A and B are shown apart, each in its own frame.
Chain A
């Protein structure tokens, strides 16, 4: 009796355990990055040498240090070009669907070294599913798996149209989103990425995705209808509280050398006006002193003139 009951429970729980072990594709999210003089920083890792995101993620850049000409966010290969961004502004990219490693730079300050690397990698499983055998690394590419039943993708290759997915509501972004932006409409997240068949470096290890003949043809990757947008794309305004965190100065930079402290307030540069009021005191004092001396001499000359007039 007991053994039969155990078998029944086993039959019921075994598929559940298997489902739990199935690797689920990672959810797209809006990642946060900071921009300063003259660096880009991944807020999650603090890395200024590269920003790594998963395919389908969006990136929100927050300007934490301003300068003129203002910073911009530019990735030529992904056709991302922000307008000028002042201190406290944010810029959110569209979902990053093209795999590869790209040059992320600030247009006005590129020649000053305001450049870093943006790596868009294939989505990785989020559960503790058995990892596939490591693939032999190619010098030109690094294949990575995208999940069960999906072929590896190669950095630098163009993604294929995203496979249609069940209507799963898009998740909330893990990182904070600027509250000034309205709650976005979410659509299913495309996770699948199929390597470019023309790419000679692709090592196909897994079976190709199961093609459902009844499914509608997959739309092109740039189809705006299927683009997952967790956060409104474009320029926004950062939460003032998030700006309260002073960024670490770039090692060896002028900020680092002089230990300059950031101004606080909605319009930090009004600090200049306060300094002007202070510095105007000695200037006006010197001017007033010189005028008083001139007036003193003038008064001293008046009796002499009066005497000379009387003498005449």
Chain B
């Protein structure tokens, strides 16, 4: 299934991780500074980061050689929890992106609590996924 015989998820995952981390930083800076110009930067980083997520997910299943490991998942191993955390990050950042887009479409103010809250939850999920990935890559 993987013609390269090398992991393809690992080189790809840096793109959404970096972009969504910068998205979270932009959200924080926007609310600390109060400057609305950070909204546009947030949107630019987040749209590319969210669009890179499906590619990352597909490459992950290329590395695992399909979905067989999901039929009898090992809950005592980090892989399944890495996947859950990555999925949570995808949901939070995807939700954040869509919510921001809808709010801007009707020209409403962005409630800071929801804006920062969704981005921070996504960031925490991203951090969890990264740490669990480190456990797999560097072998406990």
Residues of chain A whose beta carbon lies under 8 Å from any beta carbon of chain B:
37, 65-70, 86-87, 111, 254-255, 260, 262-263, 267-269, 271-273, 275-276, 279-280, 283-284, 286-287, 289-291, 293-295, 297
Q: B67: CB under 8 A from chain A? A: no
Check if B34 sits within 8 Å of A293, measured CB to CB: yes
**Interchain Cβ contacts under 8 Å between A and B, 9 examples:** A66-B77, A68-B77, A68-B79, A255-B139, A269-B140, A272-B134, A276-B128, A283-B124, A294-B32
Check if B127 sits within 8 Å of A280, measured CB to CB: yes
Contacts of A269 in B (CB 8 A): 77-78, 132, 135, 140
The A contact surface, by secondary structure, is: helix
Given A86-B74, A279-B127, A280-B127, A260:B135 Cβ within 8 A: no
Check if B32 sits within 8 Å of A289, measured CB to CB: yes
Q: B51: CB under 8 A from chain A? A: no
Chain B: interface residue count, which band?
Answer: 35 or more
Task: Give the docked Cα–Cα distance between A283 and B29 (Å).
Answer: 13
Task: Give the docked Cα–Cα distance between A275 and B79 (Å).
Answer: 17
Check if A268 sits within 8 Å of B140, measured CB to CB: yes
Q: B98: CB under 8 A from chain A? A: no
Contacts of B29 in A (CB 8 A): 290
Residue A294 contacts which of B24, B31, B127, B139 (CB distance < 8 angstroms)?
B31
Residue A272 contacts which of B119, B124, B128, B139 (CB distance < 8 angstroms)?
B128
Check if B120 sits within 8 Å of A86, measured CB to CB: no
Check if B131 sits within 8 Å of A283, measured CB to CB: no
Check if B120 sits within 8 Å of A272, measured CB to CB: no
Check if A294 sits within 8 Å of B112, measured CB to CB: yes
Task: Give the docked Cα–Cα distance between A263 and B78 (Å).
Answer: 14
Nearest CB of chain B from residue A291's CB, rounded to whole Å: 6
Check if B32 sits within 8 Å of A86, measured CB to CB: no
Check if B112 sits within 8 Å of A283, measured CB to CB: no
**Most A Cβ at <10 Å: residue of B27, B76, B123, B131:** B131
